[in-house]
């Protein structure tokens, strides 16, 4: 194995580990904030809950991936991750205002509102990621 790969392995592992912790923290906070139990609903084969949560997770992961690609330090990653998470939570808040019956819709496995939430989360995540290029 070339020396370059071995020399960069510690940074890879550090960023991968930090990203895993940050992603886990975001998911935990998101699950706490939303008024429905996505994990239980997903285990019950509720596609709407799976689509909605997947959009939020991907919407958070996109800016994190961009920051990893462009950051100099793990502190950069941590700070921008907090910002990305807050932006994703704000997007969910917008969805709640736009769809006042969202809690009932997700619980009833209505897919159209879930697709809207996922698309909003992904769109916000993509724009967020673009804004974090420096």
Q: What is the pLDDT of residues 31-70, one digit of tens each?
A: 999 999 999 999 999 999 999 999 999 999 999 999 999 9
pLDDT at position 5 is: 72
Domain encompassing residue 22: 3-131
Output the pTM of the full model: 0.92
Q: How many domains does the chain have?
A: 1
pLDDT at position 93 is: 96
pLDDT at position 134 is: 66
Contacts of 56 (CB under 8 A, 6+ apart): 30, 88, 92, 117, 118, 121
What value does the mean pLDDT take over residues 24-33?
Answer: 98
**C-alpha–C-alpha distance, residues 33 and 31, integer Å:** 6
């Amino acid at each position: 194995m070339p020396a370059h790969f071995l020399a960069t392995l510690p940074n890879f592992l550090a960023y991968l580990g930090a990203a895993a912790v940050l992603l886990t923290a975001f998911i935990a906070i998101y699950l706490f904030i939303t008024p429905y139990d996505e994990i239980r609903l997903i285990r019950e084969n509720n596609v709407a809950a799976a689509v909605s949560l997947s959009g939020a997770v991907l919407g958070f992961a996109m800016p994190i991936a961009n920051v990893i690609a462009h950051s100099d330090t793990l502190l950069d990653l941590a700070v921008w991750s907090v910002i990305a998470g807050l932006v994703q939570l704000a997007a969910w808040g917008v969805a709640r205002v736009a769809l006042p019956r969202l809690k009932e819709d997700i619980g009833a496995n209505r897919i159209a509102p879930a697709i809207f939430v996922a698309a909003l989360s992904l769109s916000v995540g993509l724009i967020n990621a673009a804004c974090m290029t420096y």
